[in-house]
Chain A
């Protein structure tokens, strides 16, 4: 199934690629429907595809009833979004890229909800973040879209990293990375609590929970099909999905319920309040989505069986009505070229807009929780669950929070309808737009149809919802969703919600004035901006201190560190072995004295060129030592390296003044001599200690024996280089190549500064 998706992810030309690509989610939906009966009976399907067997990574896929619900949402809404996008976009050249990314997203999302391995889930999780980044930034010519995409991936990426940390801890504690295995036998303890906080951080960033919600309204820069799909129905539910999976097993852990309930309720209320002050229809829906996500987090995260049931119902209801509403906003935007509800023409009096209005009314009413629609059914179930409670002292608080949140939801639903179809609030509204075509509106009509059908006959969804909730928490008892549960507290709360919501909706002018009077609080957006600025500043300061740009300082720091750390270890931890034979021939003594003299001369001379020549002398002396010791290869290499080094030094020195800068009182020279002498003593000590510290049999003997039979050569040094240690050599020549590129780029940069763009000789035509 994933293969189908990946196969179709190749870029295709033209608008019709949407319809071609829609086959992928359609096939998925059909497949899901075909296996639904057996899965709903509790028989989870599993598949395992080997991936990186060496690391124990496998693509474990597992389809249980809750995954089935998510798959149904992702693929079902996916098909409709593809059809909608076909009508939404004009023909443009980069649509192939868009379709490919969208399909890749759908594939990752399916992988996310099907994965039974924590690390696999993480990979898919990040894949959805990346594809979402690409989709938000689809209008890559617009700076705002790029910034929005960056904000989304930074926030969800930080959360994702935290989550990975949490997963690793959980996996190690439970000694399995299998999701089902982890949930069947949840570990506990301090480490697990930390891990859960990390996982929750990931889930909250992904699902745009306060205070990490700021990326979601920004993400509305994406084309509307993307918003309808990713940012309402699917991707933002990934965090909810994870929380729902974890809640039954971990709700009793210390940090779980406080975090989930606080964050969820705060998000629900904050989203509702913010939605009420938006003038952009799409932003209004975005904040509405944030609010609903908070609601879902409370329901599915609290860990109560009845709440999980209500949460599953709300997942369906929300996916259906929110996708329809986003599609409508896209339609209005395309036809009227504005989404500002103050400037929109009074659409209800424009002929041809009635079907669209009906769809909007049904979907918004479902969002508000008006009876006979699926939103009402799920909200009733939620109230029912929370009235029974089970969390403890905060039961009432949670219930009150949810009711207030629902009242706000009612109010912004009304605001959306009035804004889109009611009278304009400014004197110069836009022209009456043309009504949308059939294929444009079709998917939204279908979604509204589902809203009504499930609202009138909630029993149709009972099996799916019960099964999904039971897959989360085995203690869930199957229920029949129904419109009428009799006179009970939940019904009373529903009525209260509707009454208070109506009041708020009618008094909207007062509400707007009130909101205008309240000073603007620092928003999460500001916090995000401040964090970015702060990070950049910190990076600047750090590099200003660490990267002084002075070569003597770099070398000095490196050498002093060498003296301080290994030097101390040498002094404290080891005993000096007896001195070896000082010299085997008088020649060695003479060489050593000459080399030492040259080295000291190099350190004290003020002429750069003299210093380089003296260094070269030291190097050639070293080669002479190798010859004396009978290592011709080494000596040859040393000679040649010395020659080439000298050559490069000369190249560079031509560009520098002949004399090194004068250092007052010769402090510089003295300290240089000191450091150099210290390092020399240290290295000598190391050589002595390391030479006598050998306990294992030297490997060189084996190399000598194997060189001819295995390596096919009698020069053992060369056989080591190209065969025994060939991979090292490969790495080294790669480093050489990179260094060569570095030299070229550096000199080009310098030349660019002095000569301007006029031809670096590398670009000349060669003879």
Chain B
């Protein structure tokens, strides 16, 4: 497949922006529209852009992490947060809060819901990556074993 440099660069720019947007949505989610699920989906769209530009290989190069590592890690993180509250003596998933006064930036507030949301984010990204891995590789046209019949 011939690749156009203009297209590649454009996709590169856009998908990076989209990834940053997804991170913003993830962290802002507790107080503004967003959250782990939405952020994960946005990241997935960013990865899908990469796929459109360069197929599965391009996506692999971008992520470098195995999709199931993301999937399992996210699940583990979320579950650990849930159980962590138990260990700390609360109910399952009860959230704790930490406020830190940073000198320049103002007050930063973190709740234990954040790692949980990060877990959700990772699971969603992992799921989409796995879909891309499983379904996104070039379709071999049975009539023309050599050629690719990409229509996506």
Contact = CB atoms under 8 A, between A and B. Distances in A.
Contacts of A643: 41, 45, 48
A40 B123 CA distance: 63
A767 interface: yes
Contact of B116 (A726, A743, A744, A766): A726
A637 B78 contact: no
Given A644-B41, A651-B131, A734-B75, A767 B93 contact: no
Given A655-B139, A726-B93, A737-B75, A766 B33 contact: no
B4 interface: no
A719 interface: yes
Contact of B113 (A644, A722, A734): A722
Nearest to B139: A654
Given A640-B38, A736-B124, A726 B131 contact: no
A633 B28 CA distance: 12
B55 to A, nearest CB: 11
A715 B34 contact: yes
Contact of B93 (A654, A717, A727, A747): A727
Contacts of A593: none
A712 B34 contact: no
Interface residues of A, number: 48
Contacts of A710: 95
Contacts of B79: 730
Nearest to B134: A747
Contacts of A736: 123-124, 127
Contacts of B126: 737, 740
Interface string A691-735: 000000000000000000011111101110111001101100110
Nearest to B133: A762
Contacts of B116: 722, 726, 729-730
Contacts of A651: 131-132, 135-136, 152
B130 A744 contact: yes
A739 B117 contact: no
Contact of A715 (B33, B60, B132): B33
A650 B48 CA distance: 12
A647 B48 contact: yes
B36 A722 contact: yes
A711 B135 contact: no
Contacts of A746: 134
B6 to A, nearest CB: 23
Contacts of A729: 78, 116, 120
Contacts of A719: 30, 113
B117 A762 contact: no
B44 A711 contact: no
A632 B34 CA distance: 9
A733 B78 CA distance: 9
A718 B75 contact: no
B151 interface: yes
Contacts of A767: 60-61, 64
Nearest to B94: A723
A437 interface: no
A129 B20 CA distance: 58
A190 interface: no
Interface string A60-77: 000000000000000000
B109 A737 contact: no
Interface string B26-56: 0001111111111001101100100000001
A522 interface: no
A634 B72 CA distance: 26
Given A654-B150, A718-B34, A761 B56 contact: yes
Size category, B interface: 35 or more
Contact of A737 (B60, B71, B137): B71
B131 to A, nearest CB: 6
B111 interface: yes
Contacts of A747: 134-135
Contact of B30 (A715, A737, A739, A740): A715
A722 B26 CA distance: 12
A767 B61 CA distance: 7
A648 interface: yes
Interface in B63-115: 64, 66-68, 71-72, 74-75, 78-79, 82, 92-93, 95, 97, 109, 111, 113
Given A654-B139, A737-B127, A766 B66 contact: yes
B86 to A, nearest CB: 12
Nearest to A651: B135
A719 B111 CA distance: 11
Main secondary structure of the interface of B (DSSP, over half): helix
A672 B36 CA distance: 37
Contacts of A652: 135
Interface string A733-755: 11011011101101110000001
A714 B33 CA distance: 10
Given A712-B111, A730-B79, A744-B134, A722 B35 contact: yes
B92 A727 contact: yes
Residue of B124, B130, B136 with most partner-chain A CB within 10 A? B130
B34 A743 contact: no
Contacts of B150: 654
Contacts of B42: 640
A730 B97 CA distance: 20
Interface in A606-662: 632-633, 636-637, 640-641, 643-644, 647-648, 650-652, 654-655
A487 B46 CA distance: 100
A634 to B, nearest CB: 9
A654 B137 CA distance: 11
B82 A733 contact: no
A736 B121 CA distance: 12
B49 to A, nearest CB: 10
Contact of B152 (A650, A711, A730, A733): A650
Interface string A258-300: 0000000000000000000000000000000000000000000
B76 to A, nearest CB: 10
Given A636-B38, A718-B117, A743 B30 contact: no
A643 B130 CA distance: 16
Contacts of B120: 721-722, 729, 733
A616 B37 CA distance: 20
Interface in A310-356: none
A650 B45 CA distance: 14
B23 interface: no
A722 B41 contact: no
Nearest to B44: A644
A761 B57 CA distance: 10
A733 B119 contact: yes
B72 A722 contact: no
Contact of A711 (B32, B48, B111): B111
Contacts of A712: 30, 95, 97, 109, 111, 113
Residue of A712, A733, A746 with most partner-chain B CB within 10 A? A733
Contact of B35 (A714, A718, A739): A718
B82 A730 contact: yes
A727 B113 CA distance: 12
Contacts of A739: 127
A315 to B, nearest CB: 49
A644 B127 CA distance: 11
B82 A727 contact: yes
Nearest to B65: A766
A734 B75 CA distance: 7
Interface string A650-682: 111011000000000000000000000000000
21 contacts: A640-B41, A640-B45, A648-B135, A651-B132, A654-B139, A654-B152, A712-B97, A713-B29, A714-B31, A722-B116, A722-B120, A723-B95, A726-B113, A730-B116, A737-B127, A740-B67, A741-B68, A743-B135, A748-B134, A761-B56, A762-B133
User: 7 nearest interchain CB pairs?
Assistant: A713-B30, A640-B41, A726-B93, A651-B135, A747-B134, A722-B113, A718-B35
Given A737-B126, A755-B140, 10 more contacts: A636-B38, A644-B44, A644-B48, A651-B136, A714-B31, A722-B113, A737-B71, A741-B68, A761-B56, A767-B60
